């Protein structure tokens, strides 16, 4: 029984830290890639609801990429949104965006 409990606890801790790591990675992507245009940063993220971010970030972030690719004002981001790096990290970005969305109830610790 004790053994079982220990396994259970360590699994819980493990899954918690991997979720945190994804959010952290997503935050780094955001700071590096999105902040130069969306200067309000975390405020920008919390302008949208969880549901809206989920919609933008489905299919590896395709809707978000398309939105930028259609907009000439976002031309400087085209290279990034077309790159493999974007789709590869979109999962982390998604986690981060959802974590800090308007109705998530979380307040970011960094600023």
Q: CA 86 to CA 84: how far, in whole Å?
A: 5
Segment interacting with ligand HEC (CB under 6 A) among 2-10, 13-21, 28-36, 99-107? 28-36
d(CA 23, CA 97): 8
> Are 106 and 99 contacting, i.e. CB atoms less than 8 angstroms apart?
yes
Q: What whole-number distance in Å separates Cα of residue 11 and Cα of residue 98?
A: 23
CB of residue 11 to ligand HEC, shortest distance in Å: 32
Residue of 55, 76, 79, 85 that binds ligand HEC (CB under 6 A) = 76
- Answer for which of 8, 9, 24, 38 binds ligand HEC (CB under 6 A) is 38
Which residue ranges make up the site for ligand HEC (CB under 6 A)?
Answer: 33-34, 36-38, 56, 64, 67-68, 71, 73-74, 76-77, 93
């Amino acid at each position: 029984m004790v053994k079982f409990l220990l396994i259970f606890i360590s699994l819980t801790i493990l899954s918690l830290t991997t979720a945190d790591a994804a959010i952290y990675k997503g935050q780094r992507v955001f700071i590096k890639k999105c902040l130069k245009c969306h200067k309000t940063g975390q405020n920008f993220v919390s302008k949208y609801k969880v549901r809206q971010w989920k919609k933008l970030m489905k299919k590896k972030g395709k809707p978000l990429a398309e939105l930028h690719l259609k907009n000439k004002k976002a031309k400087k981001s085209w290279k990034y949104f077309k790159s493999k790096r974007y789709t590869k990290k979109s999962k982390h970005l998604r986690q981060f965006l959802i974590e800090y969305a308007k109705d998530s109830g979380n307040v970011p610790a960094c600023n």
